[in-house]
Structures are given as structure tokens and as C-alpha cells.
Structure 1
Amino acid sequence: MIAVLLAVLAAACNALSSVLQRRAARTAPQSDAFKLVLLWDMMRKPVWLSGIVALIGGFLLQASALNFGTLALVQPLLITELPFTMLIIWLMYRIKLNWSLWRAIIALTIGLAVLLASASPGHGTRAPDTADWIIVTVVCGAILAYLIATAKITQGSRRAALLGTASGLGFAFTAALMKESTRLFNSEEAHLLTTWPVYAMVAAGVFSVYLLQNALQSGNLVVVQPTLNISDPVASIGLGVALFGETIRLGGWIAAELIGVGLIFYGSVKLAQSPQIRQGDLMALPE
């Protein structure tokens, strides 16, 4: 239960971070896309720095949640970031949320509950070895390279969706490294800073944040957020099974799991299509 609570709090922090970073990123010139100067421009904006503080808070809460729970349990719970994002926008900017939007939020939340209840993620049965990490890194790297290369030759919402998916995969990989770091911390605390997963986690996390900044700059928040919040938990479940031997129920439970995924997809799409949120583009809102 403590892992669930920590994961939900992490999702709330991430949602606040996304709203604040979006507010800052939309004021950056399009010419800054895919350049390190984009991060430099963002660092000079107080609202973006506030978003980073919220992101760090979410990171610490997520790490604590992964220390108590499985990757396959904690990461899907971060889907609640999307409803939290909409609620934060509503509270901060007083954008009206009609029944259609609330229905989408409810569908996404129920879908998450159905997915987790039917999958019933179990704790890992093994620790990954070097070969496991090499294989997973190569596969994730190839997928990321394809998504980024495709994003570079597209524009607008399609680019934002591709980069949102890429950042979701990046955050899932970061979470897997975070899980490995917490495992090492519990077994060899004194030598943690001499182990490679800690530094790989930092590098993967920074790169994922960089991808997210480009995604937020390229398109509307509600295009980026659903792709990020779907690709992250799906990839995390796969990584949890592949690396740590975590278990999920299969057989007849697959039907219920697909229903859960379907509800999540429906809720995410409806949120992304909502005219109430589209007309509330944060670029047009006051500081």
C-alpha cells in the first residue's frame, strides 16, 4: 500500500512539473528545437525552475515507491499524472472541465484499476546480469533512435507525439535503472556510488527530460501527455518482466487487461481531443 501512495504522490508532482514546464517551453523559439540552447533558455525562466523542483520531488517519491514495490506496479500508477494534470490546469487557470472531460478522466482511472487488478504484478524473482542490461539497452536504444529520427522529419502534433513516446520509453528505462540502484543500495549501501546503474540512471533521466522539453515545445500538452503516460507504463511492465523476473497474470486475465488498456486509451484520446483543454493552451494564459 505504501508503494501505491508514494507512486500517486509522484504522479501529482510530475503533473505539476509538466504544467509548469509546458508554460515555459511554449515561449521558446522554434529554432531552439533539438539544440542544447533550449535547456539554457529554460533555465533562465523561474516557472521552468519551479517545474524542475516538482520533477525532482516526483523523482524522489518514485524512487521510494520502487524500493517498496515492483516496476510493473509503480510505473503504471504514474498514469494518474494525466488526470492530475487536467485538475491542476483547472485549479491554476480556471479552464472549465465539462462532463465529457470528467468521463474521460474516470475512464482512464478505471482502466488503470482494471489493468492492475487483473495483471496483479508480483515481485521479481531474480536480479538482472550484464547480458540482460546489454540486450535491453540495445533494444531500447534502437527504438529511441527510430522515434527521434522520425520526429526530426515531421512537424506539429505528430512530432510531439513521437517525442512524447520516446520520452516515455526513456523514463521507463530510467525507472528500471532506478529500481536496480535501490536494489544495490539495500544490498551494498557503502559502495552504491561506485556502481554503474546510478550514473546510467542520471544520464538516462537527463536525456529523457531533454526529449520531453522538445516534445512540449513541439505540440500541445494534451498531445504529449497521453503518449508519455501510455508508453512509460507499458514499457515499464515489459522491462520489469524482462529484467527482474516480475510476474503478471496471463491466460484468461489477458481479456480483462486488454479492457483496462482500452479504457486507458479511450480516456487518453478523449482528453487529448477535448476542445476545453485545446482552447486552454497555456501559451495564451497569463504568467
Structure 2
Amino acid sequence: MTPILLAVCAAASNALASVLQRRAARTVPEQKAFRLSLFLALIRHPVWLAGIGALIAGFAFQAAALSVGALALVQPTLVVELPFTMLLISWMFGIKLDRRSWAAVGVMTAGLVTFLASAAPGPGRHPPTSALWLMAGVATVGTVIGLVIVARLFLIGAGRAAVLGVAAGIGFAFTATFMKESTSIFESEPGALATSWQLYAMVLAGLCSLFLLQNALQSGPLVAAQPALTISDPVAGILYGTTLFGEYVRTGPWIILEAAGIGMIIYGSFLLSKSPPIRAHELAPEPTQEPA
């Protein structure tokens, strides 16, 4: 129960971070995308800095959750970030959610409960070997680069935001693998953490994922980027948990219920992203400006 509660706290913090960062990213000109100048423009926004503070809190809660729970348990729980995001948008901007929005939240919640109850994720049976780290790294970097190329060359607006959201979600899930290994090293031998490559890999992967997230939020509406981020992160997290750490997930007939749970999460995310009041707010034109 403890890792789930910590993961929910992480999701709430991440949701606040997304809303605040999107609010700042909407004011940055499109020509700054995929450039260091994007960060230089955003860092001058107090709202964006507040979002980074919330993101750091989310990382702390997530690290605490991963220190006591399996990756395949913690990452799926983070899907509650999406309903938290929509609720925050509703509260912060005075938007009244309709019945379909609340029904979508219910479907996502039921899907999460169904998946966790049927999969019953358990702790890992072994630490990742060097070969597994290498294969996971090559597959992750190749996938993320491919998604960025597609988004950059062939898509604009909501489509680009969604694809970059998937890339960021995969990146954050990969960051979580280094985070979990770093917490294990710290618990067994605290002095060895500073010299472990996993710690620095976590920082690098986290910064790259943050850069992808900022571009996703700057490219299109939050209702396009957030569902893609929210879904890709736990799906990738389950794959990393089972392949890298040998974490236990039920198989056999249970796969049917697990697939149904994931399907409900995806369907609920789709419904929530189509919420008329939130879409009307997110798609409303806003003058492009930068702080003085």
C-alpha cells in the first residue's frame, strides 16, 4: 500500500508541474522549439520555475515509491496523473467539468484497479546485467530518436505534442529504471552511490526527458501531450520492470484482465482528452509573449 500512496503523491506533483509548465510554454514562440533558447525563455517565467519545483517533488515521491515497490507497480499507478491534471486545470481556471469528464476519470480508475489486481506486480528477482542495460539503452534511444524525427519533420500542433509526449513518457520510464537501481545502491552501500554510473545516467535521462516534455507542451495543447505521456510511461515501465529487473507479473488467463485494465485506461484517457470544457480552454488562442 505504501508504494501506491507514494506513487499517487508523485502523480499529483507531476500533474501540477505539467499544468504550470504548459501555462508558461504557451507563451514561447514556436521557432524556439528543440533549441536551448526554449529553456532560456522558460527559465524567466516564475510559473515555470514553480512547475520545476513540483516536478522535483514528484521525482522525490517516485524515488521513495520505487525504493519499496516494483517498477511494474509504481509506473502504472502514475496514470492517475492525467485525471489530476484535468482536475487542476478545472480548479485553477474555473472550468466546470461535464459528466463525460467524470465518467472518463471513473473508467481510468477502474482500469487501473483492474490491472493492478490482476497483474499483482511483485519485486524483481535479479538486478539488471550490463548486457540488459545496453540492450535497453539502445532500444530506448533508438525509439525516442525515431519519434522525435517523426514529430519534427512530419507533424505539427496536437499531433506533434502527442508524439513528443510518448517520447517523453518513454524517457521518464527509462529514468525510473536508473532511479530504482540508484535507490537500491544507496540502501545497500550509501557511499557507493556517488561513484555509480546509474546515478549520472538517471540525471542525464531525466534532463533529456524534461527537454522532450517542454517541447511537447510548447508544440500543442496539454490535452494532446498529457494522455500520451501518461499512457506511454506506465506501459514502458512495465516492460522495463519485467525485462530488466525480472519483476513478477501474472501471466496465463490473467493477461485477459490485464489487457482489459490497460484498455480501460487508454479509453478513459481518450475520453478525458476530449473533454469539451477543457479542450475549449486549451485550444483558445493566446498571444505569444515573453517576459520582459
Please name the residue that 1:204 is paired with.
205
CA change 1:284–1:88 in 2 (3 A) is farther
Letter in 2 for 1:254: I
**1:41 pairs with 2:41:** yes
> Hey, what's the Cα distance between the residues in 2 that align with 1:251 and 1:140?
28
Letter in 2 for 1:60: A
Deviations 1:81-114 (A, max 9, x none): 0011111111111101010110011101110110
Please name the residue that 1:266 is paired with.
267
> Hey, what's the Cα distance between the residues in 2 that align with 1:104 and 1:261?
14
**Mapping of residues 117-196 of structure 1, within 5 Å:** 117-153=117-153, 154-196=155-197
Instruction: Assess if the C-alpha contact under 8 Å between 1:95 and 1:276 holds in 2.
Output: yes
CA drift of 1:282 comes to 7.9
Deviations 1:39-96 (A, max 9, x none): 1100000000000000000000100000010000001111000011111111111101
> Hey, what's the Cα distance between the residues in 2 that align with 1:70 and 1:29?
41
Please name the residue that 1:112 is paired with.
112
Please name the residue that 1:251 is paired with.
252
> Hey, what's the Cα distance between the residues in 2 that align with 1:282 and 1:47?
20
Please name the residue that 1:77 is paired with.
77
Once structures 1 and 2 are overlaid, which stretch shifts more, 10-19 or 270-279? 270-279
Letter in 1 for 2:75: Q
> Hey, what's the Cα distance between the residues in 1 that align with 2:123 and 2:254?
18
Please name the residue that 2:227 is paired with.
226
Letter in 1 for 2:187: N
Question: Could you tell me the percent identity over the aligned residues?
Answer: 55
Letter in 1 for 2:165: G
Question: How many residues matched?
Answer: 286
Instruction: Assess if the C-alpha contact under 8 Å between 1:27 and 1:283 holds in 2.
Output: no
Secondary structure at the residue paired with 1:245?
A: coil
**1:14 pairs with 2:14:** yes
Root-mean-square deviation (Å):
1.3
> Hey, what's the Cα distance between the residues in 2 that align with 1:258 and 1:125?
24
Letter in 1 for 2:98: N
CA drift of 1:283 comes to 6.6
Letter in 2 for 1:139: A
Letter in 2 for 1:123: P
Secondary structure at the residue paired with 1:278?
A: helix
Instruction: Assess if the C-alpha contact under 8 Å between 2:223 and 2:282 holds in 1.
Output: no
CA drift of 1:166 comes to 0.1
> Hey, what's the Cα distance between the residues in 2 that align with 1:285 and 1:104?
27
Please name the residue that 1:103 is paired with.
103
CA drift of 1:149 comes to 0.6
CA drift of 1:204 comes to 0.2
CA drift of 1:131 comes to 1.1
Deviations 1:240-267 (A, max 9, x none): 0111110101110111111111111111
Letter in 1 for 2:201: A
CA drift of 1:220 comes to 0.7
Secondary structure at the residue paired with 2:281?
A: coil
Letter in 1 for 2:193: L
> Hey, what's the Cα distance between the residues in 1 that align with 2:89 and 2:150?
30
CA drift of 1:275 comes to 1.5
CA change 1:56–1:143 in 2 (3 A) is same
TM-score (structure 1 length as normaliser):
0.98
Once structures 1 and 2 are overlaid, which stretch shifts more, 273-282 or 198-207? 273-282
Letter in 2 for 1:121: P
> Hey, what's the Cα distance between the residues in 1 that align with 2:37 and 2:24?
14
User: What runs of 5+ residues in structure 2 fail to find an aligned partner?
Assistant: 288-292
User: What runs of 5+ residues in structure 1 fail to find an aligned partner?
Assistant: none
Letter in 2 for 1:255: I
Letter in 2 for 1:196: W
**1:24 pairs with 2:24:** yes
CA drift of 1:273 comes to 1.5
